[in-house]
Structure 1
Amino acid sequence: MHSNSDVLSLLLSRKPWHSLPQGLYSSQAAYDADMRDLWHREWIFAASAAELPAAGNYVTVTLGDASIIVVRGADGVARAFHNSCRHRGSRICSATKGTSAKLVCPYHQWTYDLDGSLLWAREMGDDFNPKEHGLGVVHCREVQGLIYICLAAVAPDSGDLADQAARYLGPHDVANLKVAYQSTIVEEANWKLVMENNRECYHCASNHPSLCVTFPDDPNLVGADDATTSNMGREHIEKCEAANFPARYVIDPTETWRFVRIPFLRDTVSYTMDGKAAVSKRIGTVPFDDAGSCLYFHYPNSWNHFLSDQVLTFRVMPLGPDRTEVTTTWLVHKDAVEGVDYDLNRLTEVWIHTNDEDRQIVEENQRGINSPGYKPGPYSKAQEGGVNQFVDWYCRTLQNHMVSS
C-alpha cells in the first residue's frame, strides 16, 4: 500500500461492525495518512494545566514530524508554538518538559519571549525586523484544566465541548489540582489498537484483576444513553443529578467526545485495591465521596477519569505504524501531601497494573494482525459498541479529511 487512494480503498472496504483491514493497522502509508489528515487536523490533548502551573513551564509534543512547544506565559495563558527556530530551523526545546524564563535556541541563541515574539537576534543588520520572525503559532485551548492543540490552519469548533466540560468537569476543579505522579510507557502497537482496547471492557474480567475490584464491566453503564438499561447506572445518575452534579450520557454530533458518570461497584469509591479513597482530600466541589467516575474520551488521543479524590488523564501519541506512547497522569488536590493525605503506591498501583496488562494485550493484538492469517472479525454488539463507535469515527473522519484536502 503506497498511496492515498490505497488508504481510501481500505477505509471504504471496511465492513460495518467489523475490525479494520490489516493495512490500516500496519502500513506506513496508513500511518502517514493518519498523521497528515487526522492528527494534524483535529484537537489533540497535550497536557493538563497542572503540568504547567507557573510562567515558563513547558512541555514538548511530537505529532509525526511536527514538534510543538506548549508553554505557560507570564500572563498565565498557555500557548503553543512550532518547536523550530525562525533563524535556521533548529529545535529550541529538546526536553520533554522544563522551565525557562525565555525560549532560547541553543544553536545561535535567538531568544523568544513566552508569547512567541522574538526578543533578540545577534548581528542581523539594521534592516532586520524582529516582529516578522516570531515563533510559528499553533492553535491552543485550555478547557477545564486540559490543554489541547491543533495544527490545522482552521481548528474545529470547540464551543460545545467547552460548554459541556464546564458542566461535567467543572466540579472537579482540574486547574487547581497538582501532579502526584506521571508514567509514560511505549506500546508496540498501532495507536488505533490502543484506543480500541480502551473502548471496551469485554476483556476486563479475564485481564484486569486490580481494576475489576472497583470498576464495573457492564457495557450498558458506558454505552447506553443515560445508562438507563442498567439499574445501578440509572440510580447513580439520579443521585448525582439531584445534587446538581451532571452525570447523564452526552456525546457530540461528530462523536469526537463523550461524557458519562458511572458508579463504582458496591460501596467502593476509587481505583484502589480496597475500594476506599486513595486521597483523603476531596477535590473541587464534588458533593460526595461515592461520586463514581466521570468517563470522558476525546478522539483521537485521550480518555480520562474524574473521581471524587483524583483525576486521571491518559494521553496517546503515535510514534510509528506499530509504536504508541501512553502517558498517564494522576492529579490530586493541590494541598494534598504525599505520605499524609495519600500513599503514592496505593494511588497508582491499580492503573500501573492495568496499563501494563493493556500493553501486553495490544502488543499481542498487533502481532496477530501482522500475520498473513488475519482477516477483519465481527464485533460483539453487546460488548463492543464503543469499539465500533470509535472505528466508525476514525473511518468517517479520516475519509472526510482526505477527500477535502
Structure 2
Amino acid sequence: MSSNINRIIWIVLDSVGMGAMPDAEKYGDHDCNTIGHVSKHFGGLKLTNLESLGLGNIEGMIGPQSSSAPLGCYGRMAEASKGKDTTTGHWEMAGVISHEPFPTYPDGFPNEVVDAFEAAVGRKIIGNKPASGTVILDELGEEHIKTGKLIVYTSGDSVFQIAANENVVPFNELYEICEKARAILKGKHAVARVIARPFIGEKKGGFTRTANRRDFSLKPPAETVLDKLKKAGLNVQAVGKIEDIFCKQGITEAVHTSDNMDGIDRTLEYMSDNKKGLIYTNLVDFDMKWGHRNDVESYGKGLEAFDVRLKQVIDAMNDKDVLFITADHGCDPTTPGTDHTREYVPFIACGKALKTNVNLGTRNTFSDIGQTVAEIFGIENTKDGESFAKQILK
C-alpha cells in the first residue's frame, strides 16, 4: 500500500459519457455525446468544481471549460468490453473485460424462457417486449392491477425487467420472483441483470416507480479488484446499486440509496468512518431518471447539482484520501432512442497524495482503473488493464 493513501473514494456518474467511441455505429450510436449534447442544450453548464479538477481538459471533451491549472489528474476511458451496459462497464472498471456480449431480446423473450418463468412464479406475464419503463406502466399498469399478471419487458440492454404494483405484489415478494427469474436465466439466456421495478399508483398517468428497485446480476466470471481488496483485509463499502452489480462479491458493507443526493449523503457517512480501503458509489439518477427518459433538462440540472455536492466530498477528504470520478457508459438524452450509448467516459482523480495537472490521455480500457487501485493498495493485480498509479502519485 502506498504509505500516503489509506482510502479511495470512487464515484461512478452512471451514464455520463463524453462522446462516441470508434465502434459506436455498430451499436447504433454514431452521433452520441452525453456531456457535450446536454451542455449544448443549456448553452453551457455550471460545473465549477469538476472543471477545476480538469474535466474540460480531457481529450475530446465538448462543453465543459478547460482550466489553465487543473488541480486533478484527468483522461478519458475507452470500453474494451463488448457491450454498453451497467454490468459490463462496472466489471471492466474493476478488472474484468467481457469479451462476449450478453444476450439481448429485441423481439421479446422466447417461449422457453416465458413458460419456465410463469411456471416458477405461478403468475402469467404481459408485455414481453423492449419498452421504456414509464411508457409500459401507462400501457399495462391497469391490466396488471386488474389481473395480477406481471409486466415483463426488456430494452436495448441485456435485462429482464419485472414491474409490479407494490399493492398487488409487495416488493419483497417481487424480489423473490426476480431471484427465481435469475435462476432460470442461465446459459444462452444469461442476461446481465434481472431488475425488480416496483411502482405505485392506481391508473394511467398516475403510476410512479419507487426507490425499491433492485438489480439481480450475474456473478462476475473472475475475481475483481473488490475481491482482492476484501481478501487483503481492506474495507469495500458499496453505495447505491454497486452491491447488486457485483452480486455482493467483494463487498464488506453496503447501503442502497433513493437518489443521487442520498448517494452523496451515504458516501459522506462512510467517509466519516475513516476505514481503510474503498468507498465505491454509483449515482444512478443520470441514467435511470434522466438518460433513459430523454430528460435533457433534468440531466443538466443533475450534473450541476452533483458539482455543488462535490465540494462537500472534497472538503471531507483527509490527507490520505484520493477521489476517483468516472462513468460506466453513456445514455445521451438527446438521441431518438432511450437506450445506453457506446461512449468514452471521463476520468478524474484528486487528493493530497496525487500530482496535479496530469493528462492521462485516452486509456484503452476501463480496467486501468482497477489496476491502479490494486497498485495503490499493494495487492495482487487484476487480469486486465494497465495501472497509471505511477503517473498520478507524488
**TM-score, length-normalised on structure 1?**
0.26
Which has the higher Rg, Structure 1 or Structure 2? 1
**TM-score, length-normalised on structure 2?**
0.26
